[in-house]
Chains A and B, each alone.
Chain A
Amino acid sequence: MVDKAAIARQFIEAIPHARALGLKLTSIGNGEAGITMPYSKELVGDPRTGVIHGGAVFAALDTCCGAAVMSHPSAPGGTATIDLRIDYMRAATPGQTITTQATCYHITRNVAFVRATAMDEDEGLPVATAAGSFTVEGL
């Protein structure tokens, strides 16, 4: 049997922009995925506070959502974002790694529905949450 998790990990870590952000796939399988993004000065949105730009958090969440779709047992392979909404709850604490967790909670022949959250080391309140829909495509 094909190891989908291994394929997905390889695929995600080979994405040029995922490498540029330092994304690491920490868990994947059954429509769920976890990805971390280490703190980097290059990703700062306001140099006066050192807080990571919301756009970088968006990119990490989008990648994590895509990985969750690919790992769903009913997904034939590839996917692309149709739409993604992010709500920003608070600024991420400077210096801390951001951990994203996504769940593909429903999938049809054509569309996958995904929810995700982004946390820093304070797991009491998410930094951001995301909800979106993705295409379902063959590899």
Chain B
Amino acid sequence: MARSRPEPVQVVKQRRDAALNAIVEGVPYIRFLDIGFDRRGDELTGVLNFDQKLIGNPLLPALHGGVTAAFLEVTAVITLSWEFLLPKIESGELDASDIADYEKVRFPKTVDFTVDYLRSGLPRDAYARAFISRAGRRYASVRVEAWQDNHARLFAQASGHFLMPQPATDGK
């Protein structure tokens, strides 16, 4: 049997980018911190765009530890949501317009989050990538790394546990 023709690249890109944008742009706090996401295949990189309001120590100056933590947590939640939602988007079960629908799409909830501050965050852009150590039906365990000028010199790392969204019919 002949294999079906692959979809044109722009169709695939448009569908995935629209879904990712719908997830990210819907969250006011992500806009407040001005975090964006770079997508390369299934890999996401969080980008924290520097702004003066992110400073926590004006004397050094350095990024606020809470900003670093929030950036890592946002990257973890978006990466986890993306991993969870992408198959549904690819199968046609969901599209970008469904993301805002609370009944159809729910996001993982943070149970706990631990941040190691390895060096102070410089007053410039930062990048982060999350690695899903385990994604079970109920719980997920995620590790996140953040760096600035040099990927080999992380300025923070974190790990956390998340409660995965349960089907709406659960327990009824």
Contact = CB atoms under 8 A, between A and B. Distances in A.
Contacts of A86: 69, 112-114
Nearest to B101: A48
Most buried by A among B28, B53, B54, B102: B28
Interface residues of B, number: 37
A55 interface: yes
Interface in B90-112: 100, 102, 107, 109-112
A23 B41 CA distance: 40
B117 A83 contact: yes
B115 A83 contact: yes
Contacts of A63: 56, 64, 66
B58 A55 contact: no
Given A44-B29, A48-B102, A59-B69, A87 B112 contact: yes
A58 B143 CA distance: 17
Contacts of B64: 15-18, 59, 62-63
Contacts of B27: 44-47, 53
Interface string B56-70: 111000101111011
A104 B73 CA distance: 25
Contacts of B111: 87-88
B70 to A, nearest CB: 3
B117 A58 contact: no
Interface in B36-58: 52-58
B86 interface: no
Contacts of A125: none
Nearest to B59: A78
Interface in B2-36: 26-29, 31-33
B120 interface: yes
B67 A88 contact: no
A88 B109 contact: yes
Nearest to B66: A59
Given A20-B54, A53-B27, 13 more contacts: A16-B64, A17-B54, A18-B64, A53-B29, A53-B74, A56-B66, A58-B73, A62-B65, A62-B69, A63-B66, A84-B114, A86-B113, A88-B111
The 8 lowest CB-CB distance pairs between A and B, nearest first, are A59-B66, A55-B70, A53-B29, A17-B64, A85-B114, A20-B53, A48-B102, A16-B55
28 contacts: A15-B57, A20-B53, A42-B31, A43-B32, A45-B29, A46-B107, A49-B102, A53-B70, A54-B73, A54-B110, A55-B33, A55-B66, A56-B70, A58-B73, A58-B113, A59-B66, A61-B66, A62-B64, A62-B69, A63-B66, A66-B65, A80-B57, A80-B65, A80-B117, A83-B117, A85-B113, A86-B69, A86-B114
Interface of A: 14-21, 41-49, 52-56, 58-63, 66, 80-88
